[in-house]
Structure 1
């Protein structure tokens, strides 16, 4: 297999009808590490929006259970990319995400903003910052945009932008208007940075934190009231990531896919997991778990997201331990 074979396959696919397949190739073959970093920064940016940062701070999921929340987020989003939105694990992950979100009073504007970070940050990381071993093409950017437009539709988000440029304007405008310091947002930010440091050997933890801070843009540093990274650290981090890109460009293409649940930094489910049992299950959750929270008959059919079974579905109690079921405990399925 040659270095650009995956890119060539992508360009034989349609950017709209084949957007799921293109996302699978980009995330599991072409840029698995980069897409993970870009997604992490995308989610991190949302903490700087007071309505989001304060909500996450109150729920204690990003401060008291940071590792599990990180794992759950990666696994849910990863399952949707890996399996798409058809019946099966991808749709189960979508249902689980919708159930969690509808447990809280989240505005449509905040949903739109978070969705925009998923669209924009991979392109900025790979293309604008120059950290990818190659740049994304316009065709690939269109596919990413179409994938998240589809996801936005299935989440019930209204007024989703139609183009990449529309998402970019939304993100930049929303951040300019809403970024502000809050105690909750800062706590979530600190907890997330603390978790990131644990992904490296203890002997380099101090350097890892400095590196993590050095790749945050000025708007985030200012909003969270961190001491600005030195110019030397900014430059060093930039050079290191661009050197990595040059090395990766000369490597053989990844023939076997690397999915989210293969990431060694995901530690909460060493014996496997059931996607229907991960995430949060608030005791006051207003969602009726055997129906589609956003009523998409196109996706789920007239009976909702899951026809009523004998009572509530297993694993959806208010305590929601997220423990793997017997049939998934050993196979590591995603």
Structure 2
């Protein structure tokens, strides 16, 4: 599905997946995608400068989630979607925010929810849903006036993400402050009994390169095991109920 822009409606199976089939997993994945962007110093600097993540993390996260759900549900070309796209253009029209960085942000918001569904959802997203997710990715990039995204399909996009992270992930003071403000949001997505332990548990949801970029300490093995077990238990219950 590389090259041409997708036709209208190509994202529909993805919209159903995100909004109806796995909305909770989608919210966790979108939060993980948002946090992942902190690992690139240039993006962290822009987010930190707004003061919204450090000052009102819940408000910023809610607004980001609502924007993505609007785009996924209605499409970037809809009246609602065009308003969101215009807002995204204004926010990111800043020195240093290159097309590569914009593509990286979009990739995080597409790839990270699917990763979380794969690992912790009631089932893995089906091939038509993955194709629709990539169609949405292309559609949104086009609406933002970006060139065709790097990579071929979702697998190519994820490989490109890893290459960008290898080159650009680095610790920064802004990233550390953003993480200190946002980690409670990430941990609040955990199953109820674990949520009160947010400061310790949130870092267990991050991989090592991202933890290093955010200056987050590696949680003890017991904590990582507890978080993994809780998420596996939740996923198992959801799969039996599906």
Q: TM-score, normalised by structure 2?
A: 0.87
In structure 2, the CA distance between the partners of 1:136 and 1:195, relative to structure 1 (3 Å rule), is closer
In structure 2, the CA distance between the partners of 1:62 and 1:247, relative to structure 1 (3 Å rule), is same
What secondary structure, in the 3-state scheme, does the structure 1 residue paired with 2:216 have?
Answer: coil
Alignment of 1:120-199 (within 5 A): 120-127=111-118, 130-161=119-150, 162-196=152-186
Among 178, 203, 206, the alignment partner of 1:213 is 203
Aligned mates of 1:213, 1:179 — CA distance in 2: 17
Runs of 4+ off more than 3 Å = 15-18, 194-200, 202-206
What secondary structure, in the 3-state scheme, does the structure 2 residue paired with 1:134 have?
Answer: coil
Residue aligning to 2:63: 72
Residue aligning to 1:102: 93
Aligned mates of 1:93, 1:46 — CA distance in 2: 19
Aligned mates of 2:229, 2:184 — CA distance in 1: 24
Among 240, 257, 261, the alignment partner of 2:230 is 240
What secondary structure, in the 3-state scheme, does the structure 1 residue paired with 2:70 have?
Answer: helix
Aligned mates of 1:51, 1:82 — CA distance in 2: 30
Q: Which runs of 5 or more residues in structure 1 are unaligned?
A: 1-14, 253-334
Aligned mates of 1:220, 1:76 — CA distance in 2: 24
In structure 2, the CA distance between the partners of 1:158 and 1:86, relative to structure 1 (3 Å rule), is closer
Q: Is the 8 A contact 2:47 2:53 kept in 1?
A: yes
Q: TM-score, normalised by structure 1?
A: 0.65
Between 1:233-242 and 1:156-165, the stretch displaced more is 156-165
Q: Is the 8 A contact 1:66 1:191 kept in 2?
A: yes
Q: Which runs of 5 or more residues in structure 2 are unaligned?
A: 1-5
Q: Is the 8 A contact 1:34 1:126 kept in 2?
A: yes
Higher RCO (CA-CA < 8 Å; seq separation 6+): 2
CA RMSD of aligned residues (A): 2.4
Q: Is the 8 A contact 2:72 2:136 kept in 1?
A: no
Between 1:209-218 and 1:181-190, the stretch displaced more is 209-218
Q: Relative to total residues, which structure has the larger helix share, 1 or 2? A: 2
Aligned mates of 2:172, 2:105 — CA distance in 1: 18
What is the CA-CA distance between 1:175 and the residue it aligns to?
0.5
What secondary structure, in the 3-state scheme, does the structure 2 residue paired with 1:63 have?
Answer: helix
Aligned mates of 1:88, 1:63 — CA distance in 2: 31
Alignment coverage as a number of residue pairs: 236
In structure 2, the CA distance between the partners of 1:30 and 1:203, relative to structure 1 (3 Å rule), is closer
In structure 2, the CA distance between the partners of 1:18 and 1:231, relative to structure 1 (3 Å rule), is same
